[in-house]
Amino acid sequence: MTSPLRGQTAIVGVGNTRRWNAPGRTPFDQAQEAAILALEDCGLGLQDVDGLFCAISSSGLPVLNMAEKLGIRPRHADGTMVGGASFLFHLQAAASALVHGLCDVALIVYGSNQLSAGGRLVSMPDPQPYEAPYKPRYPISSYALAAARHMHLYGTTREQLAEVALAARGWANLNPDAFARGPLTREELLASRMISDPLTKADCCLVTDGGAALVLTRADRARDLKSKPAYVLGTGTSVSHRQIAAMPDLATSAAVESGRRAYAAAGLGPRDVDHVMVYDAFTITTLMFLEDLGFCAKGEGGSLVASGAIAPGGSLPVNTNGGGLSCNHPGMYGLFTVIEAVEQLRGACGERQVEGCEIALAHGNGGVLSSQATAILGTGAAL
Amino acid sequence: MNADPRFEGEGPDEVFASALAEGRFIIQRCRACSQTRHPPALACSSCGSPDITWIAASGAGEVYSTTTVRERERSYNVAIVELVEGARLMSRVEGIAPEGVRIGLKVTARIAPEPEPHVVFEPAGDAP
């Protein structure tokens, strides 16, 4: 049965600062700019926002800081922090809060200065005493352990992982806003420096700054605003562990559950999806999420990506902004998967536009494959 | 005090660390469903029961997954080991080149004392 929330809310505003290297700006500067852009995008103002959803790596109390800086007094707030997937958890919570009248205009907002502040992943303090003695590189060693397991079970190869990075760069080369553009070859990818076997530097996402925001309203109001609404057709979330050793099966993520829930809520399946955005923190995550979200059978992600299906011109447009691998990755990238999905549904993507894009899927990942969140969005035609 | 007596005493992290400091590697086992778990917690991750006991780990297990962390000066192993009792833990396999650690390798635990006591593994002597 589809969810009673299906199509009841819509993303009406998106804000993307596109400032991937912006010294002299704090995470909150990036977030405020994105919020202003998102509100201007739909013709609403700060005074209209009564629901605030926010996560920022460097702040333990981001909602309080954002409300003060934006000069708003939200009556509903949510600072859920589950890593890079947080904003898709916020999206689900915002849809519910809007439908239940807890707020009328929801703002989801994020900012980061990860690159200009020193180029290291900024994580909230969260010591892991059962991992610390072994000095895994965080988070890459955790993803490497998952990749090694995937290779062991399904015969996935480094060459197949390189195809993910190649496809991402292919799309980035069609996106004037992508941070990493230009030619990239298989040979360069495979010769990249090994960091935590089997993952090399080329398997890792970028380190950038950035700010992003979404504005959501109920569908009736969405129709009267100046932007083309992207309706929330279905969402699903799941949390499976914190430490990688506690992940039940390192080769299969909880995206299986979040995806199943989102498809059920929307009354749709993978075959109905025109455009896919999956969180590519590392090449292995693209491959795993495509499997876990049902775009191919389990274990066949490697051959799917090697077939060229996800690259420009392929049968399944994936990560069309260039992804975390080649567009941007400010530390918690999830919101950017939603922004690109909305832009594709609006038909606003220029050279990289997916023809006839009516239904898009955005998927966020957090921690070390720990939190998974899937959102299925559609145009008015998909309602 | 009206605190629930079932949860009296030190918490599970402290119990584990104290045992390790005395040279004992112990893991939790659920009395209700027999599932083992590590790191320890207050309830069973399989059935949810808070009725949990401690058992001595045999120390035998096999490599569930493995990675070699590459630094300029050195490379070292990080592995997830699945104990024969069922629980998995992050650890390190020593006594073999880090790249030589393979999934499925049979290993045996020992307690490394420094800087804090922690469990590491070595290839099992009678590995096939």
pLDDT digits (tens, 9 = 90+) for A227-252: 999 999 999 999 999 999 999 999 99
> What's the pLDDT tens digit per position in A339-358?
999 999 999 999 999 999 99
Is residue A196 less than 8 Å (CB to CB) from chain B? yes
The stretch B84-112 carries a mean pLDDT of: 98
Nearest-Cα residue of chain A relative to residue B117: A133
Contact flag A246-B13 (C-beta cutoff 8 Å): no
pLDDT the model gives residue A119: 64
Contact flag A195-B69 (C-beta cutoff 8 Å): yes
Residues β-bridged to residue A1: none
Nearest-Cα residue of chain A relative to residue B120: A134
Nearest-Cα residue of chain A relative to residue B104: A152
Which of left, alpha, beta for A230 (phi over 0: left; psi -120 to 50: alpha)? beta
Residues on chain B touching A202 (C-beta within 8 angstroms): none
* Domain membership flag for residue B38: yes
Residues β-bridged to residue A53: A78, A108
* B69 & B108 share domain: yes
* B29 & B65 share domain: no
* B115 & B64 share domain: yes
The total of structural domains in chain B comes to: 2
* Domain membership flag for residue A215: yes
Q: Which of A134, A141, A148 sits opposite B91 (nearest CB)?
A: A134
Q: Using CA atoms, how far apart are residues A258 and A237, in angstroms rounded to an integer?
A: 4
From the list A88, A96, A87, A89, the residue with the least C-alpha distance to A8 is: A96
Q: What is the mean pLDDT of chain B?
A: 96
* B17 & B41 share domain: yes
Q: Residue A226 CB: number of other CB atoms within 10 A?
A: 11
Nearest-Cα residue of chain A relative to residue B119: A133
Is residue A368 less than 8 Å (CB to CB) from chain B? no
pLDDT the model gives residue B128: 46
Q: What is the mean pLDDT of chain A?
A: 97
* Domain membership flag for residue A127: no
Largest Cα span, chain B: 56
* B81 & B49 share domain: no
pLDDT the model gives residue A125: 79
* B68 & B112 share domain: yes
* Domain membership flag for residue A42: yes
* B72 & B48 share domain: no
Q: How confident is the model at residue A120 (pLDDT cuts 50, 70, 90)?
A: low
The total of structural domains in chain A comes to: 1
* B16 & B46 share domain: yes
pLDDT the model gives residue B127: 47
Domain extent, residue A102, equals: 9-119+206-382
Q: Which of A133, A135, A244 sits opposite B69 (nearest CB)?
A: A135
* Domain membership flag for residue A18: yes
Task: Between A102 and A119, name the one with better pLDDT.
Answer: A102
* B23 & B9 share domain: yes
Contact flag A136-B69 (C-beta cutoff 8 Å): yes
* B52 & B64 share domain: no
Cα–Cα distances in angstroms (integers) from residue B81 to residues B60, B75, B87, in the given order: 9, 19, 8
**Residue B11 pLDDT > 90, yes or no?**
yes
Q: Using CA atoms, how far apart are residues A63 and A111, in angstroms rounded to an integer?
A: 12
* Domain membership flag for residue B98: yes
ipTM: 0.97
* Domain membership flag for residue B103: yes
* Domain membership flag for residue A148: no
Is residue A141 less than 8 Å (CB to CB) from chain B? yes
* Domain membership flag for residue A375: yes
Minimal Cα–Cα distance from B7 to chain A, Å? 22
**Whole-structure pTM over 0.80, yes or no?**
yes
CATH code for the domain of A40: 3.40.47.10
* Domain membership flag for residue B31: yes
Residues on chain A touching B38 (C-beta within 8 angstroms): 130
* Domain membership flag for residue B118: yes
Is residue A248 less than 8 Å (CB to CB) from chain B? no
From the list A44, A34, A33, the residue with the least C-alpha distance to A217 is: A44
**What is the enclosing helix (H) or strand (E) of A88?**
helix A86-99
* Domain membership flag for residue A154: no
Residues on chain B touching A130 (C-beta within 8 angstroms): 38-39, 89-90
Contact flag B88-A244 (C-beta cutoff 8 Å): no
Q: Which of A131, A196, A197 sits opposite B90 (nearest CB)?
A: A131
Q: Which of B38, B70, B91 sits opposite A194 (nearest CB)?
A: B70
| Phi, psi values for residue A340, rounded to 5° | -65, -35
Minimal Cα–Cα distance from A234 to chain B, Å? 29
pLDDT the model gives residue A118: 83
pLDDT the model gives residue B117: 97
* Domain membership flag for residue B85: yes
Question: Are the CB atoms for A357 and A347 separated by under 8 Å?
Answer: yes
Question: Are the CB atoms for A210 and B81 separated by under 8 Å?
Answer: no
Contact flag A245-B89 (C-beta cutoff 8 Å): yes
* B68 & B113 share domain: yes
Minimal Cα–Cα distance from B92 to chain A, Å? 6
Domain extent, residue B29, equals: 5-56
Q: Which of B13, B65, B92 sits opposite A145 (nearest CB)?
A: B65
* Domain membership flag for residue A188: no
CATH code for the domain of B82: 2.40.50
The stretch A206-218 carries a mean pLDDT of: 98
Angle at A52 between CA A49 and CA A56, to 5 degrees: 135
* Domain membership flag for residue B128: no
pLDDT the model gives residue B1: 72
Q: How confident is the model at residue B55 (pLDDT cuts 50, 70, 90)?
A: very high
Strands A210-218 and B26-30: unpaired
Q: Which of B67, B115, B116 sits opposite A141 (nearest CB)?
A: B67
Alpha helices per DSSP H over A43-71: 62-70
Contacts of A319 (CB under 8 A, 6+ apart): A167, A168, A171, A276, A277, A278, A280, A286, A310, A325, A340
Q: Using CA atoms, how far apart are residues A91 and A59, in angstroms rounded to an integer?
A: 20
pLDDT the model gives residue A123: 62
The stretch A10-16 carries a mean pLDDT of: 98
The stretch A82-99 carries a mean pLDDT of: 98
Q: Residue A373 CB: number of other CB atoms within 10 A?
A: 34
Contact flag B39-A246 (C-beta cutoff 8 Å): yes
